[in-house]
A and B are shown apart, each in its own frame.
Chain A
Amino acid sequence: MKQRSLKQRDYDWHPQALSPDYKSSILRSPTQPLLRVDGLASELDGPAFSPDVIGPLDHNLIQNYAAALGSNGEAIGPRIIVHGRVVDENNRAVPDTLVEVWQANAGGRYRHINEGYIAPLDENFGGCGRCMTDENGCYRFLTVQPGAYPFPNGPNTWRPAHIHFSVFGTAFAQRLITQMYFEGDPLIQHCAILNAIADPKAVQALIGRLDMETSVPMDCLAYRFDIVLRGEGSTPFENRMEGN
């Protein structure tokens, strides 16, 4: 088995663990510095998934929930393609990696036991999807544009419309969960969760761009969201993983 090193993570680029304006972070953020692990580590390896596990409608959030209930109903809301490419920091494609998404429906309501927002459920929308990247690292979902929703953080705090993404890469240390926002959304500047990121360029990296070229006439608009995972560092290791 081949292992490698990863570039050191830039923790200043990510949202700060303690971001007091995002109330939930106050009691859930470690106060001690992270312990640096150098050299070979188990986390430099990770799971691989077979494309065989992906069903034909897994990427189609407009149809997959109703289809699972035996109906051909479709979710309500603006139809959109969300697509992009998963690469590493060295701009190398990350092929055959699992991408999972979840989101609120067009009214901003999640299908979840702890959800209490007054917007109605959509009987044809579950809000989860997944796909594998192709050989070029490309992924593609068909969904409805999620609505903004309020959350109990301050007296009147709202999340901009967003889609949650989970990406694997090839090493456990590359594991990433993030959120894609929508170009032009005026709520972006008011979001306490996004504002936990200090660098405006990092915020920009989370905004999906309207992509007219990929939109389908008389059918759906498209947004493009490229994802960058940690890249291989300059000192790769060879390791045979034969006990220690």
Chain B
Amino acid sequence: MLKETPSQTAGPYVHIGCIPQYSGIDGIYPNDPGCALPADAQGTLIRLGGKIFDGNHDVVKDALVELWQRDGDGDKGIWLRQPTDLSNGFYQFDTVMPAAVLGAPHICLWIVARGINLGLHTRVYFPDEPKNEHDPVLTSAGKRRDTLISTRPDPEEDESDIGFPVYRFDIRLQGERETVFLNV
């Protein structure tokens, strides 16, 4: 039996290797992997975004967030990758509302950054979703389940420009209302 290769932090320059164009390295790859929703993804467009906070409530501006989910039909997997913006710390995915597969509709996120020694898994659930009631992960999260449920920020204001629903999901790495991270 072999042992898994130990993790090491992605460091502050993860963009160079994972999203080179975002870091200003143009032309080696035709585009940054995971930067756009696959054209054949089915479902209702949504925008998911937020910020990552450290234990001091400071915004983490050098993280990379990866997304894995089912599309709206449930039969296609979607993988996307975005930075937390280097200047304002906001990450944002334009994706589709996932089908309810293996529990209530959810989106899997994986977060790496300087200071994170082993990538963190978490999930995004949706507000006002009746299936949340019986979702095994939300249920076992107990009192901390709300840290896994996204919110709808002021729909009129936020959606006037883009014309589809916006969900906000902030991630707290440490301290008060610390996000539930998964051993999966």
Q: Tell me the A residues contacting B by CB distance below 8 Å.
A: 8-11, 13-17, 19, 22-32, 34-37, 39-47, 49, 53, 55, 57-58, 64-65, 68-69, 87-91, 98, 100-102, 110-115, 126-130, 164, 166, 172-173, 175-179, 193-194, 196-197, 201-203, 205-206, 227-231, 239, 241-244
Residues of B within 8 A of A25 (CB): 9, 115-117
- A43/B182 contact (C-beta < 8 A), A30-B173, A100-B18, A241-B74 known: yes
29 A-B pairs whose Cβ atoms sit less than 8 Å apart in the complex: A16-B117, A22-B9, A27-B55, A27-B58, A28-B55, A30-B174, A31-B178, A32-B180, A36-B140, A36-B183, A41-B137, A68-B27, A89-B2, A91-B2, A98-B33, A100-B18, A110-B16, A111-B24, A114-B12, A128-B28, A164-B8, A166-B17, A166-B18, A202-B3, A203-B6, A227-B5, A241-B101, A244-B102, A244-B103
The CA-CA distance from A201 to B5 in the complex, in Å, is 11
B23 at the interface (CB under 8 A from A): yes
Residues of A within 8 A of B15 (CB): 112
- A206/B5 contact (C-beta < 8 A), A37-B137, A37-B183, A41-B184 known: yes
Extra contacts, 19 of them, besides A30-B174, A47-B68, A201-B3 (Cβ < 8 A), are A11-B183, A13-B4, A25-B117, A27-B55, A27-B173, A30-B120, A35-B141, A37-B136, A41-B102, A88-B2, A101-B17, A111-B24, A114-B13, A128-B20, A128-B25, A164-B13, A172-B121, A173-B121, A202-B3
Residue contact A68 to B26, C-beta cutoff 8 Å: yes
- A14/B100 contact (C-beta < 8 A), A42-B108, A102-B13 known: no
**In-complex Cβ contact of A28 among B174, B182, B184 (8 A):** B174
The CA-CA distance from A163 to B89 in the complex, in Å, is 26
Residue contact A112 to B6, C-beta cutoff 8 Å: no
CB distance from A226 to the nearest CB of B (A): 8
The CA-CA distance from A101 to B8 in the complex, in Å, is 13
CB distance from B131 to the nearest CB of A (A): 8
The CA-CA distance from A163 to B68 in the complex, in Å, is 26
CB distance from B10 to the nearest CB of A (A): 5
Residue contact A193 to B13, C-beta cutoff 8 Å: no
**In-complex Cβ contact of A175 among B66, B100, B113 (8 A):** B66
Residue contact A47 to B117, C-beta cutoff 8 Å: no
Residue contact B141 to A164, C-beta cutoff 8 Å: no
B149 at the interface (CB under 8 A from A): no
Residues of B within 8 A of A206 (CB): 5-6, 8
Residues of B within 8 A of A231 (CB): 2
The CA-CA distance from A70 to B112 in the complex, in Å, is 33
Give the B interface residue count (CB, 8 A).
78
The CA-CA distance from A58 to B25 in the complex, in Å, is 13
Residues of A within 8 A of B158 (CB): none
Residue contact A228 to B2, C-beta cutoff 8 Å: yes
Residues of A within 8 A of B1 (CB): 89-90
Residue contact A173 to B181, C-beta cutoff 8 Å: no
CB distance from A29 to the nearest CB of B (A): 6
**Which residue of chain A has the shortest Cβ distance to B141 in the bound complex?**
A35
Residues of A within 8 A of B141 (CB): 35
- A205/B16 contact (C-beta < 8 A), A34-B183, A111-B23 known: no
Residues of A within 8 A of B62 (CB): 114
**In-complex Cβ contact of A243 among B9, B27, B74, B175 (8 A):** B74
B54 at the interface (CB under 8 A from A): yes
Residues of A within 8 A of B16 (CB): 102, 110-112, 126-128
- A112/B56 contact (C-beta < 8 A), A32-B144, A126-B25, A205-B5 known: no
- A9/B173 contact (C-beta < 8 A), A114-B62, A177-B119 known: no
Residues of B within 8 A of A173 (CB): 121, 184
